[in-house]
């Protein structure tokens, strides 16, 4: 490949390095880039417009007089046919140029190199296609004018047409990318809204509310002091939910504070048979995760395992190599309910909105292990993630 640092002196080599051998895979990629039906319509409209302009100009300038309407139709049909062939011969190489320029010289990174490369491609392709079309037309119906004069004129015309065509293709792709990006943003916003709704719904789960209020009812009668403590922790849980529902990320420190309140409510129900052990280096406290990630994992662990007077249940949390690990020994309930994996899927989707890392869910040696990616906070980043 040509050395791109010396691009002004190696334009032919750079040009050749951009153009691959055309394969079926490339045609599929180009069809995705610019659908054939749309391209065909664009070329037909362009060909008709150009021929109308050329025929009108030639007639007015006296270069070629139109005798009658039949002559006009013949010239229009004949010219449009060859313009369509020329357009197809130009369009797909132009799309290849754009396709590879997007990879080698994106507008955002190397605009000058891209402009020079595309101008060179326009001239080269225009010259080749003009020669091919002119000679083919001359063999079918010999020109009355000198062939070299026709070739020069056609080369100039097709280079200008190719310039306009490439600009049109670039403009359409830019416009289409903006529409696609807007649709993607709207879809992502809808995904975020749905995820937030699921997060909020899981926290206002009727079973969780009923169980919590049932516990509180017993405490009010038997232990008013503990009932007040329960109410305080219950309020902290829902305050955290409301404060973080609009955030994409929260710190591990905040998430662990919330989990302590959440586990307090759960321990009031399950007593001393439910344990949570956290072993975490202080450096990880500033790392980030999607809000309520730990709650989803811990809630699923309690839901799907046996926690009773005869069977204690422990959950272990630690961090290593930028992964937060939540582990518990499998103590599957005898009457295990159906698992929709909604919690896991929501976690995966929420991570997909902020990074490329994917949470892991595995069973190893009778232990259920969840690994959540820990994201490093950016410098000077505020707490409002």
Domain range annotation of the chain: 4-184, 204-373
Strands 250-251 and 288-289: antiparallel
Under 8 Å between Cβ of 326 and 315: yes
Phi and psi, residue 307, nearest 5° = -125, 110
Region 195-216: mean pLDDT is 66
pLDDT given for residue 358 in this prediction: 92
Q: What is the pLDDT of residues 344-382, one digit of tens each?
A: 888 888 888 888 889 999 998 889 999 999 998 876 554
Q: What is the pLDDT of residues 225-238, one digit of tens each?
A: 888 888 888 888 88
- Which ranges of 141-281 would DSSP assign to H, the alpha helix? 147-203, 206-222, 224-244, 252-270
Half-sphere exposure of 37 (CA within 13 A, CB side): 0
Region 18-42: mean pLDDT is 63
Q: What is the pLDDT of residues 257-273, one digit of tens each?
A: 999 998 988 888 888 88
What string of DSSP letters covers 127-155? HHHHHHHHHHHHHHS--SS-HHHHHHHHH
Q: How far is CA 171 from CA 41, 84, 160, 166, in A?
A: 16, 20, 16, 8
3-state secondary structure of 295: helix
pLDDT given for residue 195 in this prediction: 64
Its CATH class, for the domain covering 204-373, is: alpha beta
pLDDT given for residue 197 in this prediction: 62
3-state secondary structure of 37: helix
Rounded CA-CA distance 340/343 in Å is 8
Residues of the chain with pLDDT > 70, as a percent, come to 82
Average pLDDT, the chain: 79
pLDDT given for residue 37 in this prediction: 78
90 pLDDT more than 80: no
Under 8 Å between Cβ of 234 and 192: no
Region 302-330: mean pLDDT is 87
3-state secondary structure of 110: coil
Phi and psi, residue 19, nearest 5° = -100, 110
150 pLDDT more than 50: yes
pLDDT given for residue 369 in this prediction: 93
Q: Give which of 105, 86, 137, 119 is closest to 18, Cα–Cα.
A: 105
């Amino acid at each position: 490949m040509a050395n791109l640092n010396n691009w002004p002196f190696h334009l032919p080599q750079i040009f050749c390095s951009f153009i691959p051998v055309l394969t079926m895979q490339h045609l599929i990629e180009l069809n995705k880039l610019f659908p054939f039906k749309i391209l065909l319509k664009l070329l037909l409209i362009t060909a008709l417009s150009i021929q109308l302009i050329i025929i009108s100009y030639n007639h007015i300038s006296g270069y070629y007089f139109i005798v009658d309407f039949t002559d006009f139709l013949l010239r229009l049909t004949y010219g449009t046919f060859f313009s369509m062939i020329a357009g197809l011969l130009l369009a797909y190489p132009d799309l290849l140029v754009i396709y590879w320029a997007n990879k080698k010289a994106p507008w955002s990174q190397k605009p000058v190199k891209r402009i020079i490369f595309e101008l060179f491609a326009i001239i080269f392709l225009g010259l080749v296609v003009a020669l091919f079309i002119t000679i083919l037309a001359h063999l079918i119906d010999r020109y009355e004018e000198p062939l070299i004069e026709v070739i020069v004129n056609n080369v100039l015309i097709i280079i200008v047409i190719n310039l306009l065509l490439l600009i049109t293709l670039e403009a359409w792709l830019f416009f289409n990318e903006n529409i696609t990006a807007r649709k993607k943003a709207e879809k992502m916003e809808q995904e975020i809204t749905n995820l937030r709704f699921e997060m909020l719904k899981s926290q206002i789960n009727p079973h969780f509310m009923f169980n919590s209020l049932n516990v509180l009812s017993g405490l009010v009668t038997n232990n008013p002091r503990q009932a007040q403590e329960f109410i305080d922790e219950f309020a902290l849980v829902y305050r955290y939910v409301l404060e973080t529902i609009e955030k994409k990320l929260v710190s591990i420190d905040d998430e662990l504070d919330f989990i302590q309140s959440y586990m307090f409510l759960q321990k009031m129900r399950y007593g001393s048979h439910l344990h949570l052990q956290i072993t975490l280096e202080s450096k990880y406290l500033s790392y980030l995760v999607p809000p309520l990630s730990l709650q989803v994992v811990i809630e699923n662990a309690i839901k799907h395992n046996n926690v009773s007077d005869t069977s204690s249940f422990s959950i272990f949390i630690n961090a290593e190599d930028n992964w937060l690990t939540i582990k518990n020994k499998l103590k599957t309930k005898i009457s295990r309910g159906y698992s929709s994996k909604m919690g896991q899927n929501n976690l995966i989707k929420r991570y997909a909105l902020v990074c490329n890392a994917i949470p892991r869910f595995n069973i190893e040696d009778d232990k259920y292990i969840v690994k959540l990616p820990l994201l490093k906070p950016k410098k000077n980043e505020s707490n409002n993630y």
